[in-house]
Amino acid sequence: MGIKFFGHHLLDEGKLTAEQLSEAVDYQNSKNLSLGQIAVREKLLTAKEAELINNKQQTLDKPFGEIAISLGLLSEIDTDEILETQKQEKVYFGEVLILKGFMSEELMNKELNKFNQEQEEESIELNEDVDDIDQDAVIKNTIIVLKTLYTRVIHDHIKLVAINDKYKERSGLIALQKMRGNLNLDFAIQTEDSLSFAISKELLRTEFHEIDDIVQDIICEFANIVLGNIAVKFNEWSVDVDLTPPSIIPEEIFHMQEYNTFDFTTTHGNLTLYLKI
């Protein structure tokens, strides 16, 4: 069964086609604006200022509003107003399905109740597995940082769906980076091609349709953003660490069995986190 998003559930159940799912997600994304987009629309920030804050988020594990306030670009009142506007304008996936005529409200609610019940059962089992991992908080903090930065930088949803499934088939770029010092940590992420394109588009504001050198560099940079923020946290805890440059590793020479593996699903595709301490 597996933890998944509601749209993927409907696709698996044959209630939506892949084309309908893609159209609904695109429509929802076009309506649910980021804080920066709202601030620019309301003329509280310029596009250049919003881009500056977004770039800062790639290296700082802090919310958009907090960074904007620290830079003197927004007041606390402005930030609260933007957050409230974002909340009021939020469009839910189920609403889009009804608006687009892809399913009735009755069927949508029926499937949503079924989905929520299944996911609650899966989440209980998954949370128990997470609690069983004892790595002095390193792994748990790495997962938290990855999920937080993915959401803030890529503006997408992400869920942890499986732990240490050594037999699952995976595909996509593998970006490996190492942390050395008082703590030795090998860190890698693997992104499906569709997700690699989505991350590249978000970070470079350009459409990509093939895995070229630029896409590979961007996935390495995203890995560097995540591990860089983890290193900052460790340094705050008086753990001295340095990072090696990230690089793309061919699947055939990457020894997955040596790592703790954590599989995530996103709107754009699957992501796997590999950790070896």
CA distance 166 to 274: 11
29 is written with which tokens?
């994304």
Q: In this predicted structure, what is the pLDDT of residue 210?
A: 93
Q: In this predicted structure, what is the pLDDT of residue 133?
A: 44
Q: In this predicted structure, what is the pLDDT of residue 273?
A: 95
Q: In this predicted structure, what is the pLDDT of residue 114?
A: 86
Q: Which CATH superfamily is domain 138-276 in?
A: CheC-like (3.40.1550.10)
The helix or strand, by DSSP H or E, that contains position 274, with its residue range, turns out to be strand 270-276
pLDDT tens, N- to C-terminus, the chain (277 residues): 454 578 878 888 899 988 898 888 888 888 888 899 999 999 999 999 998 998 887 767 678 899 999 999 999 999 999 999 999 998 888 999 999 999 999 999 999 888 887 776 665 555 554 444 445 567 888 888 899 888 888 878 888 888 888 778 899 999 999 988 887 889 999 999 999 999 998 888 788 989 999 999 999 999 998 888 888 877 777 778 888 999 999 998 999 888 989 999 998 889 999 999 8
- C-beta atoms surrounding 264 within 10 Å: 22
Which parts of 112-198 are beta strand (E)? 158-163, 173-181, 185-191
CA distance 271 to 226: 13
> DSSP class of residue 152?
I
Strand 185-191 to 247-248 pairing: unpaired
CA distance 133 to 146: 17
Q: In this predicted structure, what is the pLDDT of residue 134?
A: 46
